[in-house]
Amino acid sequence: MLNSKGGGRYGDRERIAVSRRRQIGDLGERWTKSLLESAGFRAVRDLNVVRYNHPGGDYLAERGGKTYFISVKARNKYVQGGRRLNGGYNIYPEKVRAGARQYRAIPSWLTIQLDTERRSFSAYFGTIDGLRNPNAIAVPMTPRAVGLYECLAADRPDEAITSELSNQLTNSAPARITSDSRPQSPKLPRPTRPGHTLAAN
């Protein structure tokens, strides 16, 4: 099997996964502003417009006289190739804190959970310091954990969520060639020497 540099099935899967993550990220960015505004945030700014791939976070927003620096993570609900829940979304809190210091803002996060089978998404908001373990790399996304977060959307349907965004799609393995399935060369009659004939079977 070839790797991503050499092409082949492995390289195709990698390209599909990268494209899928990019599409999910684009959807997350499209939803974030309206999600925050619906939750009472004001002066919502997309920091990736100010600086592409902004370090540590993606949005700046104000609510209740406080400014929040928000890292947005949109992911499939289940891990790749299985029905096991994706139980944590990596945010790297030290990077979020470093970015927040530039704006004298509260380091925060917003997670978006896509359910491609139901064509819906759920979204949650919180601060880094509000997490049970504020130094953990990931925001826990188990049912028990999300029950403690501020829910910005619950199983909200969206037609933009298509089956192409699912990470459950698998490429079927090529069929194995057996001795019975190999093409057979036609049998030619045995050559005869002059003066001889083939005996009848």
Give residue 177's pLDDT: 35
Output Rg (C-alpha) for the chain, integer angstroms: 28
Give bridge partners of residue 61 from the DSSP assignment. 68
Residue 130 lies in a domain: yes
Residue 55 lies in a domain: yes
Residue 160 lies in a domain: yes
Structure tokens at 44: 């919502």
**pTM of this prediction?**
0.76
Give residue 176's pLDDT: 43
Residues in the chain, pLDDT under 50: 1-6, 172-186, 196-201
Residue 194 lies in a domain: no
Q: How many domains does the chain have?
A: 1
Residue 175 lies in a domain: no
- What tens digit of pLDDT does each residue of 109-118 get? 999 999 999 9
Residue-range definition of the domain harbouring residue 50 = 8-165
Give residue 10's pLDDT: 55
Angle at the Cα of 76 (from 73 to 77), degrees rounded to 5? 105
Question: What is the residue type of 168?
Answer: Q
- CATH code for the domain of 152: 3.40.1350.10
Residue 30 lies in a domain: yes
CB burial of 18-54 (b: ≥16 within 10 Å; e: otherwise) equals eebeebbbebbbebbeebbeebebeebeebeeeeeeb
Residue 14 lies in a domain: yes
Residue 54 lies in a domain: yes
Give residue 13's pLDDT: 73
